[in-house]
Amino acid sequence: MSLFGLKFGKKKLKEEERQLQANNRDFNLQFEYANNSIKTSKYNFFTFLPLNLFEQFQRIANAYFLFLLILQLIPQISSLAWFTTVVPLVLVLAVSGVKDAIDDFNRHKSDKHVNNRPVQVLINGMLKDEKWMNVQVGDIIKLENNNFVTADLLLLSSSEPHSLTYIETAELDGETNLKVKQALTVTAELGEDLQKLTEFNGAVKCEAPNNKLDKFTGTLTLQGEKYALDNEKMLLRGCTIRNTEWCFGLVIYAGPDTKLMQNSGKTTFKRTSIDRLMNVLVLVIFAFLALMCLILAIGNGIWEYDKGCYFQVYLPWAEGVNSASYSGFLMFWSYVIILNTVVPISLYVSVEIIRLGNSFYIDWDRKMYYPLNDTPAQARTTTLNEELGQIKYIFSDKTGTLTQNIMCFNKCSINGKSYGDVYDMSGQRIEINENTEKVDFSYNQLADPKFAFYDHSLVEAVKLSDVPTHRFFRLLSLCHTVMPEEKKEGNLVYQAQSPDEGALVTAARNFGFVFRARTPETITVVEMGETKIYKLLAILDFNNVRKRMSVIVRSPEGDLTLYCKGADTILYELLHSSCDSLKEETTEHLNEFAGEGLRTLVVAYKNLDEDYFQDWIRRHHEASTALEGREDKLSELYEEIEKDLMLLGATAIEDKLQDGVPQTIETLAKANIKIWVLTGDKQETAMNIGYSCNLLNDDMEDVFIIEGSTSDDVLNELRNARKKMKPDSFLDSDEINIQFQKSSKNPNVIPDEQANGVYGLVITGHSLAYALEGNLELELVRTACMCKVVICCRVTPLQKAQVVELVKKYKKAVTLAIGDGANDVSMIKTAHIGVGISGQEGMQAVLSSDFSFAQFRYLQRLLLVHGRWSYIRMCKFLKYFFYKNFAFTLVHFWYGFFSGFSAQTVYDEWFITLYNLVYTSLPVLGMSLFDQDVDDRWSMLFPQLYVPGQQNLYFNKMVFVKCMLQGIYSSLILFFIPYGAMYNTMRSDGKAIADYQSFALMAQTCLLIVVSVQIGLDTSYWTVVNQFFIWGSLSVYFAITFTMYSDGMYLIFTASFPFVGTARNTLSQPNVWLAIFLSITLCVLPVVGFRFLKAQLKPTPSDKVLLKIKEAKKRPPPPSPKRRLRRTSTRRSGYAFSHQHGFGALIMSGRNMRPKSPFATTGTFSPNSDKHKHKGL
C-alpha cells in the first residue's frame, strides 16, 4: 500500500520479460507496469524534513553541534547558555534546507510540466485528450507532426506511404538528421480507422525495460500469427515526429521504464572535495579537542586532590560532586563547551555566505551573457563554486556543445579553380566577417535567404554559363537522397538524411540549380530558371565501405550520365588518367580546405554508352533480386560502372563550431585540463570536429583508434597503445604494477602516468562497452588518461555516465561534464560539476545542471576566473578561520594551568560571544568575497595559474597542520606576553593593575589586533570594503569595550557587565600598549619572514607566473595581433552522407513518396516567367 508517497508491502519482482495486450487495460494492470508519470525530484512534502536533515547531519560538524547542544542542557557541566548553540545551528540548517527545497521545487515544476502535456489516447473507440502521466502500457495513442513522442511506442500506422514515419532523435543521441521508422505491413493496414484500431488486440512479448537505445527484440501475436519486432519499428520517448501528419503507436514502455529515463541517471547529493576534507579535519580537531579536555580534566582532578581541599571554605564543590575524580570528569565536559570554538558553527554560516556571493558573481558576469538569445550565465547551485577551480577532466558532448550543428557550404574547387576566399584590390586575401559583402542572390526567386556566400566570382561564372561550373552544381542538385517539401509555392524545405547533404543541395539551389521535386523515377530541377525533369535510372547507394554514392540519370536531351561524390581517397582511384593534372590542382585545394578544418568531398561524372548501360541495368536487376550474395554482386557492379570518372572538383563544408571553441580548448589545455569528447556521432565526424577545434592535430605522435569487436581485441589494442606511449608501464618495477602485486583487489586511486609524447585516443561505443567491463576498465583508464585527448563516439547516454564514473573512481581528480541535450543528462548528474548549455536541443541539460550558459567559450571564464577566484578565496578563508580560532581558543588551554583547571574563561563572556559574530566576521567575509591575486584578464592570459587548484595546493591536510601550529604559537604569545606584562605590574600612580579583568582585556585586545594584521597580510586585492571592514571592526571593538566597561552600564546591568572601569584604567597605560606591540610583532614577524624567504628561495610555479605578471604590469606589452587559429593537415574525409546506410533503395522503391507536389506537376515552371514575376516584387 502507499502512504505519504512511501510504498510498503511485498517487494516487486525483477521483470524478466514484458507481456501486454493492446486495448486491454485490465489485462495489463495485473503486471503492475509503471505508468507514464516521471519523477526527477528528490523529496515530497512528507519526506523533505527527515531526508534533508539526514543529508545535512552527514556533515560531521552539524552532528557535533547537536551533541554540544545536548551537553549545554545539562546544568552541572554547562558553562554557556543553550541558545548560543541552538540559534546558529537552526539558522544553518534552515538556510541549507530552504535552498534545497527551492531546487527540488523547480524539479517538481519541471516534472509537472512534462507529466501534464496533452496527448490523444484511444479509449472506447474515441480519441480523448489525456495527460502524459495517465497513459498506460497497452494504450494506443495518436501523435501528429512536430509532437514529442510520449512513451516508447510500437509504430502501428502512419499518414505516409507504407506507414513510414520520420523522426528526429536529437534528445537521445544528439543527431539532428532524420531517421525513418516503418510499421509492420499487418498493422499498417489499420491506417487511421478508429474502429479497426479499437478492435486491434495484438499481444506483444518483448524484453524487459533496459537502457539500450539501439536494440529492441520482441514479437507481436495477431490472429494466431507471430511477427518479429525490432528497433526499426519503435518510436522512443525523447524523439520528435517530423514530416509525418499523423501516426498511431502502441505503448510498450512508459515513464521510468522508457529507454530515455533508463539512461537519465539518478539525482545525487553533490559535495565538494573541500567539504569532504573539512569532514576529515573536523574529526582531527575533535580528537585534538578531546585530548586538550582530557589533559585539563586530569589536571583538575590532580589539582582538586592536591590543592582544592584548601579552598573548600570559600570555593566549595558543586552540589553532587564528592570526589576530585568526579570533579575532573565534569570539568572534561565543561572544557568541551568552552573550547568548542576551535570549530565554531559560524564557520559553516560564513562558508554558505561566501559560496552564495561567488554564485552571484557568475550570475552577474556580463562577459558570460549571450545577447543573441538573451541568456545570462546562471549558477543553479550555490554549493560547488570552489570546485570549479580544481577541474582536471572535462567531458564534453559534441553536437550543440562544441558545434552549432549548422553545416555551411564554405568553399569549393571547380575545374582547378578555388572559390570561397575574398581578396582586396591588391590581391591580398581578407578575413571574412559580418561586415564582408555577401553575394546577392535576389535574381533567383527560389534561393534560400539564409544561405551566405562571399566570393562573387563564382556567381559570375554561373551567370556566364561556364560549362564545368554548371555541371558541378547540376551534380550537387541530382546526386543525393534529399526529400523536398513545398507547402507554399517557392517555399522549399529540404529534409536531408544528413545535414551535409542538405548544405550541398542548398548551395546548388542558390547558385541557380534548384532541386524541386522527386518521384521514384524522376528528379525535377529548375536550372537557371528553366525546369528540367531528369529520369532517375539508378542510385548506387552509400555505405561505410564504398564511402561514395552515385546516381545515373537521363537528361531531357537524352544524355546518359553517372554523377558521383565521395571521399577523395576513394574517388581518386576511380578517375580517368586524363584528369592527372586537374587532380594535382584539386589536391592542393583539398589540403588547404582540410587545413582550415573543413569537411571535403570530391565530385566526378561519367558519360555512359547506351548499349553498355542497358546491359549493365539488366545485370543490376538480376543482382538486386538475387537470393544469395546480393550485396557482393551489387558491389561488383557498382565498382564496374564507377570507373574512368572525369573529375569536376571538390566541395568544402564547414561544420560550424561555436564561436571561440578552438581558442577555449587551447587555453584549457594550457591549464593542464584534459578534455574528453563523448558523442553519439559516428567516428569520422567526431574525429573531424576533433581536428577542427584543435583537440587533435598532426603534431601528435599518434592517434590510437580502438575499434575491436571482441573483448580480447579491445584489450590488445589498449595494451599496444600503452606500450607505445610508455613501454616501462609493463615492467614489474612500475609503480602501479607494484600496487597490483601488493593488493589482491584493484587500487582505489591510480597515480598520473606521463607518456613519452602527445597522443590522442578514439574509441567507438561498441568497443567501449567491452572496455567498461570489470577486467578491462583499469586498462582503459591507464591508457586513456595518458592521452592528451580522448574521443568516445557512438556512445549511449548511459555509457557517457559510466565513463565519467570510471575516471571519478580511479583518479583523484575533479570532473566536469558539459552538454546541451537530454542525452547528456546522466553524464551531467554523474560528474562532480555539471554544466548545461542552453542550446537547440531543449532545456533538459540545463535543468539537471549545476551551472549553465549559452556558449562553450564561456567555460574558460567560468573555470579560469570564477572557479579559480572561488577556490583561492575559500582556501584563504579556511586557513585564516582555523588560525584565528586556534589562536583564540588555545589561550583558554594555557590559562587552565594558572586557574586551577576550573573551566574559567580568559576573556569577558561578551567578547567570546561577539568575537566570531561581530569582531572578526566581516573582515574575513570581505577578503573571501573580493580578493583576487590577479584580475580576470591576467587569469585568462596565464592559464598556468589554474594548476595549483588541480593539485589542491592551497588548502590540504599539510596546510591545515601549518595553520594549527601557527595558531598554537600565536596563542602562546597572546597568553604569556600579556601575563608577563601584567605580572606584579604597577600603574604610574602606584596602584596595581595585575587583576583578572585587566589581563583579560589586554589578552583580547592583543588577539584582535593580531588577527586583523594577519588578514591584512593575507589580502591581495584591497578595496574600500576591505578597508572599511577591518578598520570598522577594530573601531567597533573599542567602542563596544569602552561602552560595556563604563560605569553607566555597570549601574544599569550590574550582573551582566562586571568589568567596570577596566578599559579606561588598563588602556591608558603605556606599558600595556608596548606589550600589545610586542605581541603583534612576535606573532606576525615569523609569518612575514617565512613568506618572503619561501618566495625568494623556493618559489612555486604560481609565484613565478605572478612575478611575470608584475613585470608585465610595469611595461604593458603591445597588443598581440588577432590570429585565426589554423591547422595544417593532410587528413581529409568525405562526410556528406548520413550515419546509416543510405536512403537510395527506399527512394527508388517509391515507398516514401507522397502524392506529387502541386507546384512540381508541370515541367514548364520558370521563376522568371511573367506569370510569376510579381512574386519577387
| Of residues 553 and 841, more confidently modeled | 553
Nearest CA to 351 out of 288, 277, 301, 300 is that of: 277
Q: Cell numbers for 288, please give them.
A: 585534538
For the chain, the farthest-separated pair of C-alpha atoms sits apart, in whole angstroms, at 132
Is the pLDDT score of 195 beyond 60? yes
Per the CB < 8 A criterion, the answer to whether 37 and 130 are in contact is no
- In tens, the pLDDT along 375-420 reads 899 888 888 889 999 999 999 988 777 887 778 898 999 999 999 8
- Residue 982 pLDDT greater than 50, yes or no: yes
Q: Is the pTM of this model over 0.95?
A: no
**CA nearest 40: which of 238, 263, 267, 254?**
267
The rounded percent of the chain whose pLDDT value lies above 90 is: 35
Lowest-confidence range among 625-634, 972-981, 1049-1058? 1049-1058
Residue scoring higher pLDDT (422 or 1028): 1028
Query: Band of the pLDDT at 10, cuts 50, 70, 90?
Result: very low
Q: Are 1135 and 500 in contact (CB under 8 A)?
A: yes
Residue pair 1140/146 in contact (Cβ under 8 Å)? The answer is no
- Among 254-258, 408-412, 681-685, 951-955, the range scoring the smallest mean pLDDT is 681-685
Give a three-class secondary structure readout of 650-691.
Answer: EEEEEEEECCCHHHHHHHHHHCCCEEEEECCCCHHHHHHHHH
Q: Is the pLDDT of residue 1120 over 60?
A: no
CB of 155 within 8 A of CB of 163?
Answer: yes
Buried b / exposed e along 105-115 (16+ C-beta atoms within 10 A): eebeebbeebb
Mean pLDDT, the chain, integer: 83
3-state helix, strand, coil in the chain (%, to 5): 50, 20, 35
| 779 touches 657 (CB < 8 A) | no
pLDDT band at residue 173 under the 50/70/90 scheme: low
**Bridge partner residues of 422 (DSSP):** 430
Dihedral over Cα of 1085, 1086, 1087, 1091: its sign: positive
Residue 1063 sits at φ, ψ, to 5 deg, of: -60, -50
Strand-strand pairing, 833-837 and 814-819: parallel
The SS3 assignment for 646 reads strand
Strands 759-764 and 789-793: parallel
Q: Which of 210-214, 586-590, 685-689 has the highest mean pLDDT?
A: 586-590
Pair 502, 493: CB distance under 8 Å: no
| Stronger pLDDT, 775 or 480, i.e. the higher one | 480
pLDDT given at position 697: 83
Residue 167, strand partner residues: 179, 241
Tens digit of each residue's pLDDT (9 = 90 or more) over 640-676? 999 899 999 999 988 778 888 989 999 999 999 999 9
Q: Tell me, letter by letter, the H, E, C secondary structure of 717-784.
A: HHHHHHHHHCHHHHCCCCHHHHHHHHCCCCCCCCCCCCCCCCEEEEEEHHHHHHHCCHHHHHHHHHHH
Between residues 1045 and 507, the one the model is more confident about: 507
Predicted local confidence at residue 99, as pLDDT: 75
Q: pLDDT band at residue 1160, thresholds of 50, 70 and 90? A: very low
In 940-1071, DSSP assigns E strands to: none
3-state secondary structure of 224: coil
Rounded-to-10 torsion of CA 243, 246, 248, 251:
60
Mean pLDDT of 164-176: 75
Check residue 1021 and give left, alpha or beta (phi > 0: left; psi -120 to 50: alpha): beta
Amino acid at 740: F
Across the range 55-75, mean pLDDT stands at 77
Give the span between the Cα atoms of 842 and 856, in whole angstroms.
16
* Residues with catalytic function: 397
Per the structure block, which three cell numbers stand in for 182? 516503418
- CB atoms under 10 Å from CB of 3, counted, come to 8
Mean of the pLDDT values across residues 812-829?
87
Residue type at position 999? F
Checking if the pLDDT of 747 tops 80, the result is no
Distances 950 to 393, 564, 672, 789 between C-alpha atoms, Å: 10, 52, 9, 18
Spatial distance between the Cα atoms of 1095 and 1091, rounded to a whole number of angstroms: 6
Task: Compute CA 947 distance to the chain's CA centroid, rounded to the nearest angstrom.
Answer: 20
Residues in Cβ contact with 1123 at an 8 Å cutoff, skipping those fewer than 6 apart: none
Helix (H) / strand (E) element for 443: namely none
At 1096, is the pLDDT very low, low, confident or very high (cuts 50, 70, 90)? Answer: confident
- Dihedral angle computed from the Cα positions of residues 730, 733, 736 and 737, in that order, rounded to the nearest 10 degrees: 60
pLDDT at 1152: 66
Q: 1043 - beta bridge partners?
A: none
C-alpha pair distances (Å), 972 with each of 835, 1080, 1172: 48, 12, 97
The separation between CA 346 and the C-alpha centre of its own chain, rounded to angstroms, equals 32
Distance CA 165, CA 163 (A): 6
Q: What pLDDT shows up at residue 1098? A: 83
Taking CA atoms, 1107 is separated from 542, 850, 955, in Å, by 59, 35, 22
* CA-based nearest residue to 586, from 743, 745, 416, 456: 416
Tens-place pLDDT, residues 511-548: 999 999 888 788 999 999 899 999 999 888 877 677 88
Separation CA 152–CA 32 (nearest Å) = 17
Name the strands in the sheet holding 140-144, side by side, starting at the edge strand that comes first in the sequence.
126-131, 118-123, 140-144, 246-253, 152-158, 234-235
Question: Once rounded to an integer, what is the mean pLDDT over residues 282-295?
Answer: 89
The C-alpha cell of 1140 is what? 546509416
- Radius of gyration in angstroms for the set of CA atoms belonging to the chain, rounded to a whole number: 38
Residue 808, classed as helix, strand or coil, is: helix
User: Rounded distance, CA 692 to CA 1044, Å?
Assistant: 70
Query: pLDDT tens digits for 225-278?
Result: 889 898 889 999 988 998 788 999 999 999 989 988 887 766 666 788 888 888
In angstroms, the Cα distances linking 165 to 141, 248, 516 are 15, 10, 22
Q: Which residues contact 316 (CB under 8 A, 6 or more apart)?
A: none
Q: Strand, coil or helix: what is 942? A: coil
For residue range 688-727, list pLDDT tens digits in order: 888 888 888 888 888 999 988 899 999 999 999 999 998 8
- The C-alpha angle 856, 857, 860, rounded to 5 degrees, equals 110
Per DSSP, the residues of 338-385 read HGGGGS-THHHHHHHHHHHHHHHHHHH-GGG-BGGGTB--EES-SS-G
Q: Indicate if the pLDDT at residue 607 is higher than 90.
A: yes
Classify 822 as helix, strand or coil. helix
Per-residue pLDDT tens for 32-54? 999 898 887 888 888 888 888 88
